[in-house]
Amino acid sequence: MITVRIVRGDGRAFTIDGQLLGLIDAEGLCAPNVEVFTQKAALGDGDVVTGHRVGSRALAFTAKARSAALSDPLRRSITAFFTPSQAYAVHITREGVTRYAADCRLEGLQIPTENPHVPLRVTLSFLMPEGYFLSQDSFGKNIAAIEPRCGYPYAAQAGVGRIYGVYAFAQTVYLDNDGDAQAYCKAVFSARGQVTNPKLVAGGGFVRVLQTMAQGDVLVVDGKTKTVTLNGVSVTAKLDRHSNFAGIVFALGTNTVSFTADVGANLLDVYVYYNKRYIGI
């Protein structure tokens, strides 16, 4: 059984789960748009492969109302919900596994006019620009967090050991990517005091920002868009010249991500996000 939950850019959701609408056909779930580029060989037979990529793909879902009595209210709600001006996240659950297509755009909406005593049918078509389905979990944990263990006042018997707090993560964390392709890393640095020249190390590269962060400042390093912002303003001009965004990706298998700073590394909260990418669901 496949269920589909479509979340609009404004947070509203529409679900095809068999209660009001049941899914009767789905296209594009396991149909990646693989593009291979070639050029003619200068000598001999055949062509030379010059590159390859996964392009955008089309998704289409056909659903049927559980009863004809639901047709008119469903028709009104569907035409109001699906508009070309909105972006949609399409969450698909199959055999207990959920993955989603991000930033999809409506390409088609078909609701045939039929006998009013026949349950409504609707076909929704989307452009899926990412080309890959993403994992629901984006990790999203603070790798600089300290896990509290006790508070004060605190009483203990003499001779009994005490643990006041432990690091929930070390400064270097090992993360697994068991998806179908490399994954992009995004890190959010939040300063609890003055921090000088924060640095993110992930995969085979690093990004170091030659900047002093004050308490409350937020620095975002995005490996997918290859951008760095401080409090929402680009600080790309302040990057260490040896910084390399090409390496801020997670290859298949086990990867490392770590952070540091010239001064004040202990005054940072560092949240790391990454979604695994899959060919299909």
What is the C-alpha to C-alpha distance for residues 40 and 48, in angstroms, rounded to an integer? 6
User: pTM for this structure?
Assistant: 0.86
Residue 200's closest CA among 278, 257, 269, 264? 257
Q: Which of 106, 131, 156 is at the close of a domain?
A: 131
- Please check whether residue 268 is in contact with residue 259, taking contact to mean a CB–CB distance below 8 angstroms: yes
- Please check whether residue 214 is in contact with residue 191, taking contact to mean a CB–CB distance below 8 angstroms: yes
**Owning domain of residue 271:** 139-275
- Do 100 and 170 fall into the same domain? no
Dump pLDDT digits (tens) for 3-25: 999 999 999 999 999 999 999 99
Residues 6+ away with beta carbon under 8 Å from 129: 56, 103, 104, 105
Dump pLDDT digits (tens) for 188-243: 999 999 999 999 998 778 999 999 999 999 999 999 999 999 999 999 999 999 99
Q: Which of 77, 99, 131 is at the close of a domain?
A: 131
Ranges of the chain whose pLDDT falls below 50: none
CATH number, residue 75: 2.40.30.200
- Do 113 and 218 fall into the same domain? no
- Residue 281, domain member (yes or no): no
- Residue 42, domain member (yes or no): no
CA quadruple 225, 226, 230, 234: dihedral sign? negative
What is the C-alpha to C-alpha distance for residues 180 and 278, in angstroms, rounded to an integer? 5
